[in-house]
Amino acid sequence: MSGPPSRTRRPAPGELMGIQEAASTLGVTMRTLRFYEDKGLIAPLRVGSKRIYSRRELGRMQLIQRGKRLGFSIREISEFLDLYDLDPGHHEQQRKLLERVSKRIDTLRTQADAIELTLAELRAIESQTRAALAESPDEAQ
């Protein structure tokens, strides 16, 4: 099992924060940070049993959050992060990202079309039902 590559430079003291501060800064729970660590997407430094987060880990978490917001799976996000680490010019990462983004756009367009059809049908039902109720002698308005 391979995890994120080890760091080659030690972060400056001002760049480090504990799990509670990192979670607060990112707007996530400590459990969320541990989850992404378990998945190998982030690798905080360890001081005994304490997790210490560097700017690198915070940046990776921001990329993870953005990927989740855009609808990418954990596996896809992991691939992007791995490519980022392995491809200094980020060309392969950008090609893969473009491919996945294009697919995501197509999926969302299809879903948006389906939603518009559903909304149109619901509006028609709503209009018909309101008209039927307005014509009903038993209904007081």
Q: Where are the alpha helices (DSSP H) in 1-141?
A: 19-26, 30-38, 55-69, 74-86, 91-135
Read off the pLDDT of each residue in 10-31 and give the average, rounded to a whole number. 84
Read off the pLDDT of each residue in 76-90 and give the average, rounded to a whole number. 79
Confidence at residue 69, expressed as pLDDT on a 0 to 100 scale: 94
Asked if pLDDT for residue 13 goes beyond 60, the answer is no
Q: Are 90 and 52 in contact (CB under 8 A)?
A: no
More confident residue, 88 or 35: 35
Domain spans in the chain, listed from the N-terminal domain onward:
14-86, 89-135
The total number of residues shown for the chain amounts to 141
Confidence at residue 1, expressed as pLDDT on a 0 to 100 scale: 40
Tokens of 24: 């607060």
* Rounded (5°) CA angle 82-20-7: 35
Which CATH number applies to 14-86?
Answer: 1.10.1660.10
Asked if pLDDT for residue 5 goes beyond 50, the answer is no
> Mean pLDDT: which of 7-21, 48-62, 107-121 is highest?
107-121
